[in-house]
Amino acid sequence: MFILLKKAARMNKKLVKNVRKSFESHFGKKPILVFSPGRINLIGEHTDYNEGFVFPAAIDKGILLAIQENKENESHVYALNKEEMYSFDVRSIVPLEAGSWRNYIVGVVAEVQNLGITVPNFNMVFAGDIPGGAGMSSSAALENSVVFALNELFQFSLKKSEMILISQKAEHNFVGVKCGIMDQFVSMFGKKNSALLLDCRTIKAKSFKINLKKYQLLLINSNVKHDLSESAYNEKREVCERVAKILKVAALRDATKKELAKIKDEISAADYEKALYVIQENHRVKLFAKAIRNNELKKLGKLLYKSHTGLRDQYKVSCKELDFLVAQTKENKNILGARMMGGGFGGCTINLIKKSAVAEFKKEISKKFKQEFRKECTSYHVKLSKGTRVIKK
């Protein structure tokens, strides 16, 4: 669906080659290779942990991981991008310093073991082609690649639906982000050229082929690195849970605007706005799916802008760079809509733009962004792709 597909395909091949080569040179054996994608999210931000709806898609960028068993008393994991090796014994795992990539690995191993499964020691190399902090969920991709690879290597017979819960628990208990299930789900179950309308309560998804005709999606990275564990992400979740409790509902997904209005005096104005945002965003996801079905592109664009306004003014997870990137698109008649994407506090915007206008816009936005912030923004073309899988060659 997007342009520059050849370039994207080439890049992945290079990733496979580099990871395989690195594994063989470190460990002298042929590995099992697993690819786990990152994601974009068309709409439905911060609705997943409110048991609501989201509309993400897996992409052709993600984590490539190589694994093989070893007969030692230690596991060895090499993070190729960082050129760092970490050795640990699977029998004595503790969470490591906050912000370390090691937590994703040991967290998944520990959560598998918490199910009563014994994980033997292993050798691993991984690398990725999505920049960390870009809001494209390299975290879920890494977690999923680890659990999927362990399952493949040791034949644990875990189902994919179990694996995503393991990944999510690792994120909660080892990384420290009380995330929803959107990222792990779509990274595991993504479909080619499609986005998934996911009900985060039932964890069931409907897949939608995405064909935007003369338009395409374009990501612009503000290059402001978000770090969800250090940010207000967990606090936002707490607000939602608190308001749901006052409303006597299981989650904000069950609340209506009318019900929320009735308790307005019992909560702070800020909490009221956050809960209202969640109710409205949840509704927007359903409208978005309908507009995709009916091919109403202008409607899609309007919903994207509304989502951004809600994230900025009500939920308060945007930042000046993201707001700037979105504001600039409003002056461009070839762009139907844009919004910040993912958890927020940095990362990318997602833009619905006419294909023929992409090159010009990229030039223009990078110039304006540089003038405003004295730093670069980066654009990405992504292809909607399949979920986590073994790479054969």
N-to-C CA span, the chain: 25
Q: Binders of ligand GAF among 124-143, rule CB under 6 A?
A: 137
**Among the candidate windows 3-11, 57-65, 147-155, 174-182, which touches ligand GAF by CB under 6 A?**
174-182
DSSP per-residue string spanning 343-382: S-SSSEEEEEEEGGGHHHHHHHHHHHHHHHHSS--EEE--
Which candidate in 48, 60, 183, 323 is catalytic? 183
Which residue in 52, 107, 310, 343 binds ligand GAF (CB under 6 A)? 343
Task: Tell me whether residue 20 or residue 46 sits nearer to ligand GAF (CB atom).
Answer: 46
Q: Rule CB under 6 A: is residue 169 a binding residue for ligand GAF?
A: no
Say if residues 146 and 105 touch (Cβ distance below 8 Å).
yes
- Measure the CA–CA gap between 179 and 201, rounded to whole angstroms: 14
Give the type of residue at 46: H
Give the type of residue at 71: K
Q: Rule CB under 6 A: is residue 48 a binding residue for ligand GAF?
A: yes
Q: Rule CB under 6 A: is residue 45 a binding residue for ligand GAF?
A: yes
Q: Roughly what angle, to the nearest 10 degrees, separates helices 160-170 and 138-154?
A: 130
Which residue in 180, 190, 337, 387 binds ligand GAF (CB under 6 A)? 180
Is 271 known to be catalytic?
no
Taking the complex as a whole, the smallest distance from the CB of residue 52 to ligand GAF amounts, in Å, to 10
Burial of 365 (0-12, 13-18, 19+ CB in 10 A): buried
Taking the complex as a whole, the smallest distance from the CB of residue 120 to ligand GAF amounts, in Å, to 30
Say if residues 205 and 188 touch (Cβ distance below 8 Å).
no
Q: Rule CB under 6 A: is residue 183 a binding residue for ligand GAF?
A: yes
Which string of x and - marks every residue 298-337 that binds ligand GAF (by CB under 6 A)?
----------------------------------------
Residues acting as catalytic residues: 183
- The footprint of ligand GAF (CB under 6 A) covers 45-46, 48-49, 137, 179-180, 182-183, 342-343
